[in-house]
Amino acid sequence: MATKGSSQPRARKFADETRTGLVRRARKMDRILQETYPDAHCELDFQNPFQLLVATVLSAQTTDVRVNLTTPGLFAKYPTPEDMAAANPEDLEQILRPTGFFRAKTKSVLGLSSALVDRFGGEVPRKLDDLVKLPGVGRKTANVVLGNAFGVPGITVDTHFGRLVRRFGWTDETEPEKVETVVAGLFPRKDWTMLSHRLIWHGRRICHARRPACGACPLAKLCPSYGTGPVDHDEAAKLVKTGPPPKTT
């Protein structure tokens, strides 16, 4: 029996799991997460695909909350790709400084804005192959934009997502693109975007990197990593975090 704060290896009842068993368990876990986080959504504020693209690039190595505090001023001054492509780099750096790595991010948003103007008529492309060719845009960012701005299903493998799918025993892969491929094979394509949101929400709120709140986790009975964090409910409940306040209209 696990004790408070103890760690334990992959539970025996999952060690010999068949492919069919894994698919069933993974989908059951997602159904539980759907009940747990019925309002799961992208936590970056945006009004159009360009804003989401830029906000996602800025979210690297910082929080969505910090990005949401920065982007209103950014988009008020540079509302379109044309405006941002023509921005003074020093002015952009001052706006983006709070997000960290601001020089690299300035270079990326200037580059992607110029590329949108020069190659796509100022419009954000709707294809992954085109998006990943933009400066500072990888598959993770591209899938965020496709899934949330255009309704094209995609799996967003950020640090939370990767950590959780390995803890859940869905895959042992560590490279984001391989993780994406494996997990995509466990779920219907139509579910990919919302699956990403739910896992990211769970990673931010309960399944933390250092001390997951195992004793307060709705997935405890289905998780081979149960016991990585405190299993006592009251102790675990103290680790549960709530999300940012609801958006106002």
The single residue of 30, 64, 105, 140 carrying the catalytic annotation is 140
DSSP string over 65-125: HHHHHHHHHHHHH--SHHHHHTS-HHHHHHHHGGGSSHHHHHHHHHHHHHHHHHHHTT---
Which of these, 162, 154, 134, 161, lies nearest to 53 by C-alpha position?
A: 134
Tokens describing residue 187? 């779920």
**Does residue 4 have an active-site annotation?**
no
Which of these, 71, 76, 66, lies nearest to 53 by C-alpha position?
A: 71
The single residue of 30, 64, 105, 158 carrying the catalytic annotation is 158
Q: Are 182 and 170 in contact (CB under 8 A)?
A: yes
Q: Are 114 and 78 in contact (CB under 8 A)?
A: no
Contacts of 106 (CB under 8 A, 6+ apart): 89, 92, 93, 96
Contacts of 200 (CB under 8 A, 6+ apart): 40, 156, 158, 160, 161
**Does residue 158 have an active-site annotation?**
yes
Give the integer Cα–Cα distance in Å for 119 and 113.
Answer: 10
Give the integer Cα–Cα distance in Å for 50 and 56.
Answer: 10
Residues designated as active site? 140, 158
